Amino acid sequence: MNQQHPDPSDKTGGNAPTASGLEPMLDLAQKATTAEHPRVVSRRWLLLKAGVAFNGFVGLLLAIPMVRYLFGPWRKDADYKSWISLGRADDFPTGETRLALFTSPFARPWDGMTDRTACYVRRESANTFQVFAVNCAHLGCPVRWFPQSQLFMCPCHGGVYYADGSRASGPPERGLFTYPWKLVSGELHIDAGQMPTLDNSAKLVNIEIGGGNSPCQG
C-alpha cells in the first residue's frame, strides 16, 4: 500500500482551515481585541457623540440672547450710565451755545463714524451749563442752532426753541431734552449712558391755551 507522508513544508499538519472556517475565528479575534482595548469605538458611537455635541453647541448659541434678555433688568447701573467728557469747560464761552460731539459709550469697532453723537452746550455762567440733545422733541429730527436769532430750529416740521431750550412754536409740545452734566477737574462731563427722555430730562414749558397759561410737563 502506498502511504501518504505529510509534506514537511506544511506546518498546519495537513488540517488547514478553509476560507469559510476563518470567518468565525476573525469575529472572535475582533471581539477579543475590542474587549481588551476599551478605547476602540465604533463608527455609530462616534457619529452619535458628534451629533449630540453639535446639537448642544447650537442650543447654547440660541440660548445666549434669551438669557441676556431675561437677566438684562438685573444688570448694574454702571452698564446703563456712562459719563463722557465733552472737553475743557473753558472751550465753551459764557453766554454762547456751541455744538459738541462725543463718542457713544456703547460704540463698537464696526460702527465707524456713526458712533459720533452730537449735542449743544450752552454756558450760562462760570459754573452753570445746559447740554441739549440734538433731537427735536417732536419726532426726533436734528435741530440747528442759529446764533443770529438765538433760536433752535427743526428743518423737518418747523419746531422752534428758545436759547434756553424751551418751546417757542411749532408741533413740539415741550422743550428740548437735556443731559445731566457735572464738572470734573475743569472738564465738562455728561451722562451719555441713556438717551434723554420724558422720564427724567424734559423741560417744563408753558403753552398758551385760550388766552391763559397752562403748565405742561414735557
Q: Is 135 a member of any domain?
A: yes
Domain span at residue 206?
A: 80-217
Q: How far is CA 50 from CA 46, 47, 53, 54, 98, in A?
A: 6, 5, 5, 6, 61
Instruction: Count Cβ atoms within 10 A of the Cβ of residue 22 and give its class: 0-12 exposed, 13-18 middle, 19 or more buried.
Output: exposed
pLDDT value at 18 more than 60:
no
Residue 119 shares a structural domain with residue 182: yes
pTM of the predicted structure, to 2 decimals: 0.54
Q: Is 17 a member of any domain?
A: no
pLDDT digits (tens, 9 = 90+) for 158-173: 999 999 999 999 898 8
Q: What percent of the chain clears pLDDT 70, i.e. is strictly above it?
A: 62
Residue 47 shares a structural domain with residue 146: no
- Does residue 109 or residue 6 have the better pLDDT? 109
